[in-house]
Amino acid sequence: MAKATSISLEKLSSTVAAAVKAAVANHPKVKVDPAGPVALSYLIWGIPVPEPIAGALTVRESQAFANAVASGLGAALPGSTTEGAIFSSGGYLIVGIPVPPEVLFTR
């Protein structure tokens, strides 16, 4: 098991800002503010999709499913507009909802 490490909020913020600024320079279509908020939790709260199913889905199909799940959560999350979110990395697909804004912090 990996050993736990710590990082200051200031160091995390400056490191994320630098990484976003560099990525924006290489991807001019993605115009995001390097000083924008950072999620302290997972990018999304969701459920993993089994690999055989995930491998057969398009991005649009995955997003449509995530939106369908999110629309069913409205009553549990009063006062918020919930839309679906997808996260894919290393062959894993997670569908769910974005981290609520109260879990974000600004720099």
Q: Name the phi and psi angles at 83, rounded to 5.
A: -120, 160
Strands 92-98 and 85-89: antiparallel
Contact (CB, 8 A) for 46 and 94: yes
Per the model's pLDDT, the better-predicted residue between 7 and 52 turns out to be 52
Mean pLDDT of the chain: 77
- Asked whether residue 74 carries a pLDDT value surpassing 80, the answer given is no
Q: What's the mean pLDDT in 7-16? A: 78
Q: What is the mean pLDDT of residues 80-93?
A: 82
Residue 13: exposure state from Cβ atoms within 10 A (0-12, 13-18, ≥19): middle
